[in-house]
Structure 1
Amino acid sequence: MATELNDHARRLRWRLRGAWLGPAFVVLTVVDTILIRVQPLAGEGKTDWVAAFLLAGSINLIVVAALGQLGGWWLRRRRPDLPKVVADNYAGTALLFVVTAVFLGFGMAHRSDATYEADAVDKASAAGRDYLMANAPPAYREGAATADLIRIDRDVYRVCANGGDPARSWCVIVTTDADPPGIRRDRNREPNASLDGLREIR
């Protein structure tokens, strides 16, 4: 009887030591959601809370389900004393921390790109509006202060001032990979909003 009690107590201790996966999954999914929301992995705007939660939860679940047992097998080869359930829990928990580190790394890497893009947009907007105010026909100079901008390519933007005709604008192409930015007149009079396939920034 005493031996059975000791075995039961020993198994219970192992289970308690290995019961980190569930709490870690919940806590790190919340942490990952916040990371994705605060520092998106791609794009310019912030990720929606629901989308961030679904992405974090899905990836965590896939990683644990697909790699947790494999990691447990690897761990038991080095720690034969570990019960399978404990090894799987340890491996799954470690993988969740790896996922969080990956989210953090990708977010920080994208942050530098997003910062570069934001600086380029500000530079293109200021240079384009100054040029429009100085060189656009009088009918468009008033609209230069509220000129809109789209990104054509990396470091290439189109800035347009609107006049009385909503179907015609006065536009310039601004390249921001030089100091000062390069500016040339765009003979195309279409407003930015009518150009398909280009992303409007402001």
Structure 2
Amino acid sequence: MYLYTENFATKGSNEVISCLNHYINTHKTAEQSSLTIFCDNCFSQNKNRFMPAYLDSLCAKRMFAEIKIQYPILGHTIMPIDRCFASIEKRRLKTETIHNPEYYVKLIKESRKENPFEVVFVQHSLLSNPNLYTDIEIIPVLDYKDFYVNRLKPQVPGISKIRSVLFSHISKPMSRDTMTGDYTTMIALYKIGNATSISRTQTRRRMLRFRC
């Protein structure tokens, strides 16, 4: 569970990609060659040109041979993550008053007895007492938008209708406007003359200069 307050970060693509990048780098094993992501149709966070560019770069760098991102149809988005949020909300409803952000950390960490949630702070700690949870990592929000914006086309045609995108290390991204079936439409993300493959060292070095 990645936690932050909106005075330290916003609800945009930089935050989503920064959290996703941290999760992949932390948990991916060498044997894992494919990734499937399910997310909603929020354009500012998930369905924009920066998220596909990031996922495409993972394939270009051979971190994955294949990545699929799925945008379920509205009203049909009940997924395992909903049970995670429900367990947190169930515990929260038992408390009349929440006095400080630290209580949310405690609430989340204790909301599940089996396989408890791992909490990660984004951009800033929420603890007034830094010695309270010394095991919680703080990750920075990197400016992916600034890094990619000059390389990408101004918009992705038909992105509002896309239901799934397939990324591969051997081809350009392909999309479809249904949840099942073949990927029939090629997505051209980059401006002419801009390479897809960017070394991880170069990417990390430049984005750290644009930290929020």
Give the TM-score, by structure 1 length. 0.24
Q: RCO (CA 8 Å, sep 6+): is it higher in 1 or 2?
A: 2
Structure showing greater radius of gyration is: 1
Larger relative helix fraction: 1
